[in-house]
Structure 1
């Protein structure tokens, strides 16, 4: 049942990202219209209960740690870039292949994310779909992904994902 719900959730989220892509594709875009993101941009700056409690308590001793609230499994996402054309660097964790290359992958902030346990939080993972298959060169080669960005609530066997990009371009990272 969960797999079926995951598929439904994934399709709905991808549909929203695809529709946003159609809107962007219909208007002329220039290179200066692309927002270059860093991974920290994907974390809302509201702070969480754990950080707030730690600030109130100041420096804490080891035996005080148990009195802190538990960190939430829920990684908040930001809507600041929904429907916008963005560019972000990262590493590829392939999900779907064609004979010509990878069409769906998770973009992760560092090498080995999602391969080792635990995976990064959902607000640090981006599901990338591309109509043009990516000739996959390996897990250790960084890439730039440019495309329409949106929030997504997806769950895969590897991790929960908080964002999605309908990729217009995937290219090797050149710092």
Structure 2
């Protein structure tokens, strides 16, 4: 009986050690992406153009979204890390559960959205307590191409977030 209990403790300790090693390996096991990586090779990355103030009572910003020049499928199904800014789409309590990850502050809200291949629709099971639109974050999770259309913009990529952390 004592030997059986000792074996269980040894097995439990081994499992805990394995889980800890797996978590630390996972913490470093992702591909770092930049926004330019999402644009197909040979296509120009369109930088944000801000010309004066936006008339919010004018045409919708989504109608001013430039066309996308295609997508890259290189990272479909891969765990990636991508920095950006949050444009909230859905909440649970006070946390954001779905948002558009954008490459620069104000995209989709104060200036016309960038092309679809410069936007990522992010979902998370654990609501993220965002401090606002101007907070840069790193999002780590499963990445892929997925055409999504919202009132704010057309989006070419999706990311199922495992972790969202301040940049």
Tell me if both proteins adopt one fold, taking TM over 0.5 as the criterion. Answer: yes
Which among 102, 119, 123 is matched to residue 117 of structure 2? 123
Structure number with greater CO (CA < 8 Å, separation at least 6) is 1
Alignment partner, residue 134 of structure 2: 140
Counterparts of 1:101 and 1:169, CA distance in 2:
14
Equivalence map 1:82-93=2 (5 Å): 82-93=76-87
CA deviation digits over 1:56-87, x for unaligned, max 9? Answer: xxxxxxxxxxxxxxxx8243100000000000
* Contact 2:102–2:118 under 8 Å retained in 1: yes
Higher helix share: 1
**SS in structure 2 at match of 1:30:** helix
Q: For residues 75 and 159 of structure 1, what CA distance do their matches in structure 2 show?
A: 15
Q: TM-score, normalised by structure 2?
A: 0.69
1:172 shift after superposition: 0.3
Could you tell me which runs of 5 or more consecutive residues in structure 1 were left unpaired when the two chains were aligned. 1-27, 49-71
With the length of structure 1 as denominator, give the TM-score of the two structures: 0.66
Encode CA deviations 1:130-169: one digit per residue, 9 max, x unaligned: 0000001000110000000000111110000010000000
Q: Distance in 2 between matches of 1:32 and 1:133?
A: 23
1:83 aligns to what SS in structure 2?
coil
**After the TM superposition, which of the residue ranges 146-155 and 31-40 deviates more from structure 2?**
31-40
How far apart in 1 are the matches of 2:83 and 2:68?
24
Counterpart of 2:32 (choices 36, 47, 55) is: 36
Note the residue ranges of structure 2 that are not aligned, 5 or more in a row: 1-21, 45-65
**Alignment root-mean-square deviation, CA:** 1.6
Larger Rg: 2
**Off by >4 Å, runs of 4+ in structure 1:** none
